Amino acid sequence: MSLCIVINNSLLQVPPHCIPIHANVTTYDWGPLVEACQFDVIMMDPPWQLATANPTRGVALGYSQLTDADIQALPIGRLQSNGFLFIWVINTKYHFTLDLLDRWGYRLVDEVVWVKLTVNRRLAKSHGFYLQHAKEVCLVAKKGADPPGLQHRVGSDVILRNNLRNHWVTIGNEVTGKGPPAEDAVAVQDCGMVPGAVYGRAN
C-alpha cells in the first residue's frame, strides 16, 4: 500500500513506519511524544545561531536559526532513558554543547568528523571566524545503558540527510518528503502518528 500526501502544494512520499512531524520545535507540544515512546537513538542538527556580526560571510543561510536558550529548552533528556544522542555542532558552539549534554544527562563518548570535499576532491571552504573550516563535527553522547541489540565494534554507514527514512520519527521545519518510491510507503495511520501534528514539508 502506498501513501503520498500533499503539503503546501507539494507531493510527499512517506516511507514505511516513518513519522514526519512538520513543526516549530520551540512551540511544539512534546508531551504526547514523550509519553508515547523512548528513543534508542536521537540525531540532532540544530540550526545554530552564528555569533559574528555578519553571520553569513557571503553565504546565504536558507533557514532560520535558534538561540542557545531555544536549543537548551528542547526536552531531549525526556525523550530518552537509555541510548545515544548524535548532535552536529559548529565550532563556536562546541563547549556550549558539551555543557548542554551534561545538563540533559548525557556523557560524551565519541565524535564523528565529516571532511567536506568539492566535486573536484578538494577541501571545501565553509564557515569559520578565524579559519574557514572544511569539516563538520558530530558529537556522540550516551545516556544510561546501551539500547537493546547494540553491537560494538562493527562497521557502519552514516546517513546524513533531512529526508524521511524508514522507521524514523523526524521532527522540525525542514522535513522533506523526498524518500523511497511511493510504492514502498505505507499508510501513516498504521505508523502511530502523534495527534494534531502536521506531517511533511517539501524544500
Tally of CA atoms within 13 A in the half-sphere of 176 that contains its CB = 7
pLDDT at 185 over 70: no
pLDDT of residue 52: 54
Cell representation of residue 23 = 513543526
CA dihedral sign of residues 29, 45, 170, 24:
positive
pLDDT of residue 116: 80
> What is the bridge-based pairing of β-strands 41-44 and 83-89?
parallel
Task: Read off the pTM.
Answer: 0.69
Helix (H, G, I), strand (E, B) or coil at 77: helix
Are 203 and 176 within 8 A, CB to CB? yes
Question: Chain-wide mean pLDDT for the chain?
Answer: 74
- Say what the pLDDT of residue 144 is: 93
Q: Which helix (H) or strand (E) holds 130?
A: none
Taking residues 82-98, report their average pLDDT. 93
pLDDT of 194 reads 39
Strands 135-143 vs 107-115: parallel, antiparallel or unpaired? antiparallel
Q: Which residue do the cell numbers 524518500 mark? A: 179
CB of 176 closer than 8 Å to CB of 28: no
pLDDT-above-70 percentage for the chain? 64
The pLDDT of residue 109: 94
> How far apart are alpha carbons 100 and 43 in whole angstroms?
15
- Do the beta carbons of residue 157 and residue 164 sit within 8 Å? no
**pLDDT score at 44:** 92
| Bridge partner residues of 107 (DSSP) | 142
Cα(84)–Cα(117) distance, integer angstroms: 28
CA angle (149, 151, 153) in 5-degree steps? 170
User: Please, which pLDDT band fits residue 14 given cuts at 50, 70 and 90?
Assistant: confident
Mean of the pLDDT values across residues 27-54? Answer: 84
Please report which confidence band the pLDDT of residue 172 belongs to, taking 50, 70 and 90 as the band edges: low
Tens of pLDDT along 100-147? 999 999 999 999 888 887 888 888 777 667 777 778 899 999 999 887
pLDDT, position 107 = 96
How sure is the predictor about 80, in pLDDT bands with cuts at 50, 70 and 90?
very high
- 76 neighbors 39 (Cβ within 8 angstroms): no
Residue 200 banded pLDDT, cuts 50, 70, 90:
very low
Write down the pLDDT at residue 198.
41
